[in-house]
Structure 1
Amino acid sequence: MAEQADAAARRVLEEARRLVDARLEVWAGRMAGEVPGRLGEALAYALRSPGKRVRPALLLSAARAVGGDAMAVLEVATAVEIVHTYSLVHDDLPCMDDDAMRRGRPTTHCAFDVGTATRVGFLLVPVAAEALAEAAESLALGAEARRALAEELFEAGGIRGMVGGQWLDLEAENRQLDLPGLMAVHRGKTGALIRSAVVLGGIAAGGTPSQLDALRRFGEEIGLAFQVADDVLDATATSEALGKTAGRDAELAKSTYVGLIGVDGARAEAARHQAQAITALAEAGLPTETLGALARYIVSRAS
């Protein structure tokens, strides 16, 4: 059973990488052509950053779970990955987490400079909006569905999502949070866009309100599981395995699940969120094979 789940996760992740990387290459070429000089080069560099494409994989799988066509919603998945890319560019800046390596190569501010990387992050937001608008047009969505897509994605990327979570994360450096406080950070900084990816797949594929509610519950749980697993990896994996600097949480004196409840406790917490995510799908009568396999991958991944 575990081997079948692993194989299913690998298939959908490989599909998402292949499809979304091709779309990101198109956007990188457009940006390099439309934005002159060093800034255009930096935009293309950020968009070509390799990655696991977990969020697009979740989105495509959620679309299929409600009976939709994954290829039809591909540009929505691309928009989500562009927002994720913007968040990483800014997260790595010296005024944030100050990381020199991301996804196995120099971060954007190290490859170029801080000012350029800052502008790249800002510019990627309207690029994502353009991708989302093109997706809505190709899907021939009505006004209500278009509004729902935009609200879902950009709320996840704003003060009630990633930006708010990052602010809480920075405010919490050098002081210990309790578990509810840590969960609030992670619901925003990491969990919001993961949840949004799942829900967006459902919206774009025409899911019913009850299906969208179940996908939202799944996304919230698996978003938290992702961050708990990240905390474990930061404490136990090497920089080479992660493709980024390991041990940064400890260096920055950040509160983590590992720091609060230990490695074994954190692994158990991730497994609990994984189980609750799958239960949310099952209770709504949604298929659990592929999304469940991705949930398992998120908890058990090695990087």
Structure 2
Amino acid sequence: MAQFDLDAFLRTQQARVESLLLERADRLSASGAPPRLVESMRYSLLAGGKRLRPVLCLTFADTVAQASLVSALAADAACSLEFVHTYSLVHDDLPAMDDDDFRRGRPTNHKVYGEAMAILAGDSLLTDAFGLLADGPEPVRGALCRELAVASGAAGMVGGQVLDTAEDRPANLDYLVRMHRLKTGALIRAACRMGVLAGGGDAEALVRAQMYGDAVGLAFQIADDVLDVTSTQEQLGKPVGADADAGRFTFPAVVGLEESRRLADAQVRLAVEAVRPLEGEDGPLAALARYVVERKF
């Protein structure tokens, strides 16, 4: 049996996401919002990247529907995730947070537009994500909004960021796992579950999406931590070693590089097992789970 062609799949899906985001960014430009604000939002939203969250959302939607969806529902769900993810990056880069000068190989938003505009652009991306997701007749949009809200807020991404910046955070594995299941994993898990909801999947598919998202989210963060100490700024598109410089605990710092790699591989195996009943032995979701780690190491 031929191995799944992940490179071709990613090119297709990422191009699909870029087209969807551009369409919605153009709506912002035509909305009557202040042009400088829209420019700042577009600068970060259309900056490229892996687009992992919307790709996962669309792939789960396609998998449970057994078709390539072009519905506004799946498209809006995918784009709303990237709106929220982009806002989080804009705010993370601010001097009060990570104080980063580069993101995806170019100056961060606040370096181009100033801190105040970067904050407001992030605020608008977050708010407009829910306006986008709620704009349609399908009853399931309410459930999609709830998924995104929980994953983004105090019990999700923002809560994880608080744990990451707490002065009294302990240097132990349990704390690290809890923090990253919120900070990074919550939005990835939501992307998977939102894809199932948008695709009309059943309760079992939703459970499997959650298992997969939990595992992939943690594997992604472990791999990110490893890359922060093993890569270069040219490879990453942003400064390396920032976590260590800020005194933050990472998986390599707490358990070492080799154990970090072992933990990431174990999470990938869990993810692959979770989606086997949905897509068979060699599908795009399994390949994406492996990619999360292999692209890093």
What TM-score comes out, normalization by structure 1 length? 0.91
The answer to whether the aligner puts 1:157 opposite 2:152 as a matched pair is: yes
Aligned counterpart, 2:209: 215
Pairing partner for 1:287 from 268, 280, 288: 280
In structure 2, the residue corresponding to 1:66 is in which secondary structure? helix
Q: Specify the code of the residue in structure 2 equivalent to 1:52.
A: K
Alpha-carbon deviation of 1:65? 2.0
1:124-135 to structure 2, matched below 5 A, reads 124-134=125-135
Q: Residues of 1 paired with 2:147 and 2:201: CA distance?
A: 14
Deviations 1:89-145 (A, max 9, x none): 1111111111111111111111110111001111111211122123xx2xx522xx2
Rounded to whole Å, the distance in 2 between the matches of 1:292 and 1:285 is 10
Deviates more, 1:149-158 or 1:69-78: 69-78
Gaps of 5+ in 1: none
How many residues align structurally? 292
Pick aligned residue for 2:186 from 179, 182, 192 = 192
Q: Using the alignment, how far apart are the partners of 1:179 and 1:245 within structure 2?
A: 25
Say whether residues 1:71 and 2:56 are aligned partners: no
Q: Contact conserved, 1:194 with 1:223, CA < 8 A, in 2?
A: yes
The separation in 1 between residues aligned to 2:288 and 2:197, in whole angstroms, is 19
**Distance across 1 between alignment mates of 2:266 and 2:296:** 19
CA contact (8 A) 2:151 2:186 kept: yes
* Superposed displacement of residue 19, structure 1: 1.6
**Structure 1 CA distance for aligned equivalents of residues 8 and 188 of structure 2:** 19
What amino acid is the match of 2:148? L
Please give the secondary structure, in 2, of the residue aligned with 1:51: coil
Which of 178-187 and 31-40 deviates more? 31-40
User: Aligned partners of 1:66 and 1:53: how far apart in 2?
Assistant: 20
How far apart in 2 are the matches of 1:81 and 1:268? 29
Q: Following the alignment from structure 2 to structure 1, what is the Cα–Cα distance between the partners of residues 271 and 70?
A: 25
Match of 2:45 among 44, 47, 53: 47
Q: What is the CA RMSD across the aligned residues, in angstroms? A: 1.8
* TM-score w.r.t. length of structure 2: 0.93
Deviations 1:149-176 (A, max 9, x none): 1111111111111110111111158x54
Q: Is the 8 A contact 1:158 1:164 kept in 2?
A: yes
Q: How far, CA to CA, are the matches of 2:69 and 2:99 in structure 1? A: 36
Alpha carbons 2:251, 2:260 under 8 Å: kept: yes
Task: Specify the alignment match of 1:247 in structure 2.
Answer: 241
1:21 aligns with 2:15: no
Aligned-residue identity in percent? 41
Residue of structure 1 equivalent to 2:142: 147
Query: Which residue of 2 is the match for residue 11 of structure 1?
Result: 8
Alpha-carbon distance between aligned partners in 1 of 2:290 and 2:22, rounded to the nearest angstrom: 29
CA distance 1:213–1:172, shift in 2 (3 Å): farther
- 35-44 vs 245-254, which moves further: 35-44
Partner of 1:171: 166
2:224·2:296 contact (CA, 8 Å) conserved in 1? no
Pairing of 1:34-113 with structure 2 (within 5 A): 34-68=32-66, 69-72=68-71, 73-113=74-114
Seen in structure 2, the aligned counterparts of structure 1 residues 67 and 27 have a Cα distance that, compared at 3 Å, is: closer
Aligned to 1:270: 264
**Secondary structure at 1:71 match in 2:** coil
For each residue in 1:36-95, what CA deviation from the matched residue of structure 2 results, as whole angstroms up to 9, or x when unmatched? Answer: 242222122122211111111111111122125432212211111111101111111111
- The whole-number CA distance in structure 1 between the counterparts of 2:82 and 2:9 is 15
Q: 1:298, 1:116 → 2: CA distance?
A: 32
